[in-house]
Amino acid sequence: MADVTMNGALNEALRRSLTEDDRMLVFGEDVGRLGGVFRITDGLQQEFGERRVFDTPLAESAIAGVSVGLAVAGWHPVIEMQFDSFSYPAFNQIVNHVARYRNRTRGIVPMPIVIRIPYGGAVGAAENHSDSPEGYWAQTPGLKVVIPSGALDAYALLRASIADPDPVVFLEPKSRYWVEEVGDLADPAPPIGRARVVRDGTDCSVVAYGAMVARALAAADRAAETGTSVEVIDLRSLVPLDVETIAGSVARTGRAVVVHEAPMSYGPGAEVSARIVEESFDHLEAPVARVTGYDIPYPTATIEQHYVPTAERILAAIARTVEY
């Protein structure tokens, strides 16, 4: 058992997968010599060579498009989009090709590509460095969308994503990169598609993922002080969505609050809320609440604290829901 950060856990996941799978490649902007702007690929080029871990021209569409050709040729690309907003130039390649190639070729040509994207705000970053684009990817049939909330699960989920035969958009919550957890990286974890109840409770279910899980847990701690028992679910993947775990929790608590950093309208919270209504309508004691980013472009760093959902906002939503 040791202290481990998400950066370190992701780095170790890449290292172990590169060791086991000699068809795996790691490439993207500054991922080689520098080790990535967040150091997720630190040391990998030295260890595995420039053939398997390489820097590319500054061209996100080509990074994704070249990975399609490499996958057709039987390689296994694990690519990095340097920041959330910089994945948009690759949108055409990911949506029109990565996501559809398997289906277009009637199962003959799979696309075992992992697209790693550092995402989200609350890190004081410049413009175009703090978006939460998961809704775009989750609305694209053919992609899996995986989002870890902490270091140990990040290791397990990235390992599982690399082993997955389907393309995975792997979103890494930047604000959790440096947070330490204590544990063993070899810990077995639920597979992709299984949510995890990270705190048991009886009065209200809070459904979150990525950086919002820690804030939901903080809100649950505060709620407990006033006698409200909150269950917290970490989704771990938006696609597949573990409706069973969500519905099971809401069946017990009768109340649900969905939290994400992305803007509210048409966001993942809308999908989760709809599923709760579809699956657990008879159990609901209150309307499903959403605590999300606002429907505005991600703000400047000096006022971003008003945008990213806080434990206080989550707590207020829990209170409204419980008192309904």
Partner 1 sequence: MSQASAEPGGGGFAVDAATMRALYRLMAITRALDEEAATLQRQGELAVYPPLIGQEAAQVGSAAAMRDDDWLVPSYRELGAAVVRGIDPVEYLAFYRATWHGGMWDPQAHRFAPICVPVASQIPHAVGLAMGAMLDGRDTCSLVYFGDGATSQGDFHEGCNWAGVFRAPVVFLCQNNQWAISMPAEAQTAGSIHRKAEGYGFPGVRVDGNDVLAVYGAVREAADRARGGDGPTLIEAVTYRIGAHSTADDATRYRAAADVERWQALDPLARYRRDLEESGVGSDELFASVDQEAEEIVARARAGVIAMKPRPVDELFAWVYDEAPPTLTRQRDEAAGDG
Q: By the criterion CB under 8 A, which residues form the site for partner 1?
A: 25, 51, 56-57, 59, 61-62, 64-75, 89, 92-93, 96-97, 100-110, 141-142, 144, 164-166, 193, 239-241, 243-244
Q: How far is the CB of 79 from partner 1 (least distance, A)?
A: 11
Q: Which is nearer to partner 1, 122 or 239 (CB)?
A: 239
Q: Any idea what DSSP says for residue 250?
A: H
Contact 171, 147 (CB under 8 A): yes
Catalytic residue among 76, 129, 260, 283: 129
116-118-124 Cα angle (round to 5):
175
Quick one: 82 exposed, middle or buried, by C-beta within 10 A (0-12, 13-18, 19+)?
buried
Show Cβ contacts of residue 225 under 8 Å, excluding neighbours closer than 6 positions: none
Other beta carbons within 10 Å of 230: 27
Quote the tokens at residue 55: 């820097």
Q: How far is the CB of 96 from partner 1 (least distance, A)?
A: 5
Q: In angstroms, rounded to a whole number, what is the distance separating the alpha carbons of residues 154 and 11? A: 10
Q: How far is the CB of 112 from partner 1 (least distance, A)?
A: 9
Q: How far is the CB of 107 from partner 1 (least distance, A)?
A: 4
Q: What is the DSSP string of 22-45?
A: TTEEEEETT-SSS--TT-TTTTHH
Q: Which is nearer to partner 1, 57 or 227 (CB)?
A: 57
In angstroms, how far is CA 234 from the centroid of its own chain?
10
- Catalytic-residue membership of 129: yes
Contact 231, 318 (CB under 8 A): no
Residue for token digits 């856990």? 9
Q: Which is nearer to partner 1, 88 or 183 (CB)?
A: 88
Show Cβ contacts of residue 323 under 8 Å, excluding neighbours closer than 6 positions: none
In angstroms, how far is CA 212 from the centroid of its own chain?
11
Q: Which is nearer to partner 1, 108 or 126 (CB)?
A: 108
Q: Which is nearer to partner 1, 62 or 270 (CB)?
A: 62
Q: In angstroms, rounded to a whole number, what is the distance separating the alpha carbons of residues 258 and 271? A: 10
Q: How far is the CB of 1 from partner 1 (least distance, A)?
A: 33
Other beta carbons within 10 Å of 172: 26
Q: Which is nearer to partner 1, 67 or 273 (CB)?
A: 67
Q: How far is the CB of 72 from partner 1 (least distance, A)?
A: 6
Q: Which of the residues are catalytic?
A: 129
